[in-house]
Homo-oligomer: A and B are copies of this chain.
Amino acid sequence: MRQHADAPVSAGIDRLVATATDRRPGTPDQRIRVGIVGATGYVGAELIRLLTRHPRVEIVGLQGRDRDHEPIGATHAHLAGTGLAVDSSLPDVDTIFLALPHGTAAAIVPEMASRGTAIIDLGPDFRLRAATDYPRWYGFEHPSPDLLGDAVYGLPELHRTELTDLRHAEQAIVGAPGCYPTATLLALAPLARAGLIGDLVVDAKSGVSGAGRDPKPDMLFGEVNESVKAYGIGGHRHVAEIEQELAALGAAGATTNPGAAGVDFLPHLIPMTRGILSAGHVRPTRPTSQAELDDLYAAAYAGEPFVTVVPAAPATKHVLGSNHVRVFVHHDERTGRILAIGVIDNLVKGAAGQAIQAFNLVHGLPETTGLEQLPLAP
């Protein structure tokens, strides 16, 4: 599957499509050629950090705004040692990772996908199934609504089979989830599947790296430090994903569709760089118990390589720098409510790490390849 750098693009593409019944590299020495578009942002940096150490990947191209021909170290000083550089002329690749503002990927993906290049889009352009959600939540008409049905929501714990099936598909488009939805959905999925979510408040807290690297006054250290505030009042865009996926999970057994009334989702910005904690406050559709919840969660996440159900409230620091997720569920005897908490590193499991996890599945590699790092603490 790996292409030679000097092969003409069209030739490479032709050969790729011809053999595109299998995206898995043949031998252990063969490497998948990947490109990263949007390499100069924080998510781009994290993709580079992780893919550089991925044993089956070769990064062959980086694109980034206003940085053409510069070494990547000029933008991301910590990555100077990689020797990579930004170059607007992206060579032929097997898989392209896109870390772009909304609306941008939608414009370029159709052509790329038709050439057989696997697409891992870390923006929102291929996360939603209903084309009408794009004007509603993102303010643009989706230019390729027909692709939305084929694209896979790249949360492996919920869509592993579909991601794996892309290995043999002619077109492979993954819409990697947003950071808040990742933490929220993994905390709530077992409840949604069991039809237990009767009423839902999601109150989330995030480090500032999710806001990206563009210099905005309210992201200055002097403004963020020693302060907390809510934002996205009245409807953060990630609600769309959360409602879509909860509805899909609950379709079978839910007596109340949480998407019907609308999820009450409130994100907060807190003075840290990385990490998301999402707390789901659930009024259940019927009485339940801690024992039932423990069973549900144990069953849901047994064998999951990155999700751990923990018996005490987890901290984001427990997963910092890693693709790990910690999930906690509690039945409150006094109020009858359920509390479900998920913690992730927003740039790893909430972005670059999860994208690589999906990428591994698309290419038939072990799901944890290149993602084995342990969390960094203290």
Known: A213-B217, A261-B336. A313 touches B233 (CB 8 A): yes
Chain B min CB distance to A229 (Å): 4
- Complex alpha-carbon distance, A217 and B214, angstroms: 7
List, in ascending order, chain B residues with CB within 8 A of A333's CB.
Answer: 234
User: 1/0 per position for A269-292, CB-CB distance to B under 8 A?
Assistant: 011111101010101000000000
Task: Determine if A209 is an interface residue (Cβ-Cβ < 8 Å).
Answer: yes
Q: Which residues of B contact A337 (CB under 8 A)?
A: 264
The interface residues of chain B lying within 8 Å CB-to-CB of A279 are 203, 230, 266, 268
Residue in B78, B261, B264, B283 whose beta carbon sits within 8 Å of that of A375 in the complex: B78
A140 at the interface (CB under 8 A from B): no
> What distance in Å separates the Cβ of A287 from its nearest Cβ neighbour in chain B?
13
A312 to B321, CA, bound (A): 27
> Separation in Å of the A237 CB from the closest CB of chain B?
13
Query: Does A77 contact B233, Cβ atoms closer than 8 Å?
Result: no
Q: Which single residue of chain B is at the shortest CB-CB distance from A306?
A: B81
- The reply to whether A222 and B228 contact each other, CB–CB distance below 8 Å, is no
Find out whether the CB atom of A52 lies under 8 angstroms from the CB atom of B374: yes
List A158-206 residues whose CB lies under 8 Å from chain B.
Answer: 199, 201, 203, 205
Residues of the B chain whose Cβ atoms lie less than 8 Å from the Cβ of A332: 234-235, 262, 264
A114 at the interface (CB under 8 A from B): no
- The residue in chain B whose Cβ has the minimal distance to the Cβ of A378 is B222
Among residues of B, the one whose C-beta sits closest to the C-beta of A227 is B317
Bound Cα distance from A268 to B270, whole angstroms? 11
Chain B proximity of A359: nearest CB distance (Å): 18
Task: Tell which of B205, B230, B330 touches A234, judged by Cβ atoms closer than 8 Å.
Answer: B330
Interface string of A72-91 (1 = CB under 8 A from B): 00001111111000000000
Give the shortest distance, in Å, between A376 (CB) and chain B (any CB): 5
Interface string of A301-342 (1 = CB under 8 A from B): 000000010100111111111101000001011111101010
CA distance A357 to B180 in the complex (A): 38
In the complex, A215 has a CB within 8 A of chain B: yes
- Give the bracket for the number of chain A residues in contact with chain B: 35 or more
| Most chain B beta carbons < 10 A, residue from A78, A80, A215, A335 | A78
B374/A49 in contact, CB under 8 A:
yes
Contacts of A270 in B (CB 8 A): 205, 228, 270-272
- CB of A14 closer than 8 Å to a CB of B: no
Q: A15 interface residue, CB < 8 Å from B? A: no
Closest to A216 in B: B215
Closest Cβ–Cβ distance, residue A209 to chain B (whole Å): 5
Q: Which residues of A are interface residues toward B (Cβ below 8 A)?
A: 42, 45, 49, 52-53, 76-82, 199, 201, 203, 205, 207-209, 213, 215-217, 219-231, 233-235, 261-264, 266, 268, 270-275, 277, 279, 281, 283, 308, 310, 313-322, 324, 330, 332-337, 339, 341, 343, 372-378
The 3 closest A-B pairs by CB, nearest first: A227-B317, A203-B203, A229-B315
23 contacts across the A-B interface (CB closer than 8 A)? A45-B378, A52-B374, A78-B376, A80-B308, A201-B281, A203-B266, A203-B279, A205-B270, A207-B222, A215-B216, A219-B221, A219-B222, A220-B378, A221-B271, A226-B275, A228-B316, A229-B316, A234-B334, A235-B334, A262-B332, A262-B335, A262-B336, A376-B376
Other contacts beyond A205-B228, A261-B336, A270-B272: 17, CB < 8 A: A78-B376, A78-B377, A81-B374, A219-B220, A221-B223, A226-B274, A226-B316, A226-B320, A227-B316, A227-B320, A228-B315, A229-B314, A230-B341, A233-B339, A234-B330, A235-B334, A271-B271
